[in-house]
Structure 1
Amino acid sequence: PLGSGSIACVYPARLSDGTPVAVKLRRPGLTDTVRRDVAILSTVFALAGRLPGLRGAPLADMAHAVGASVLRQLDLDTEARNLALLRDDLSTLEFIAVPAPVTALCGEACVVMDFVPGVRDHVEVAELSTERRRALADQTLRAVFEMLFCTGLVHCDLH
């Protein structure tokens, strides 16, 4: 894999015409596991909410909100649609490269997208000049500002 996380792994691939792409595949069996974990979390929070010191705390609501959020992360078809929206929304920022999804090949457990060469998960800050660090900080803040305050669509896996 080019990268891996708790929900999916990303692999390099080529389309039949030779075009390089990145393929994000949800980990097998993860949906059932997460649904069970969310059910357990909800049960534990509901029971904890009956304890004298926690009565009145919105624990069940918190468990529901967290669980729903995590379950939404499993739907890679929605992620592909959001990726396309984010690409459009951030297209005015010349320093941002958002891969385009190959919509016809995306589904609930798979996102196929343009391959963006040169992306590294980890950069040693000490390797960068002060000017480059400032430029990257400025660009990151501009992108986050654009997402939060202009588009309302937030992607939490920026590279």
Structure 2
Amino acid sequence: MGRAGETPSPEPKLDPHRKKLMLCVWWDLEGVIYWELLDSKTALTAAVYSQQLNRLAGAVRTKRPSKTKVIIQHDNARPHIAKLTKAKIQELGWEILPHSAYSPDLALPDYHLFRDLQSNLNELHFENDEEAKKWLRTYFDQKPRIFFDRGIRSLLTK
């Protein structure tokens, strides 16, 4: 507070219209297999999700070449349960690990990852998408394998 008669100094306010990004990430016992950011202009539709699954399939072939069976778990969001998505998963020869139909939460392993990610992101602000991507690459690369292993194995104890 200033003195009477003084002009108050301006205080910068956070931009209420800051750009938001959606992180889409797929991971297993060993770590992150594939991730991408969607900007706020891109809606996650079944078509977009199916394209992501194609890119994920390529990443699985590259990063996990010895994998002969892929089991995917995702929540029950519309793009994840759409006919197009189910057809894509069948085309890829993957299996779906069911998620509780009435669960209000993320899939359990996602909760493990996103809770930790959120605690590391608190108070961070990125100037652009590239800065956010760089931070995420570093975050994922520095996570030890045991972190991901625990997240997947938590499914067995719930």
TM over 0.5: no
The normalised TM-score by structure 1 is: 0.29
Which protein has greater RCO, CA pairs closer than 8 Å, 6+ apart?
2
Give the TM-score normalised by structure 2. 0.29
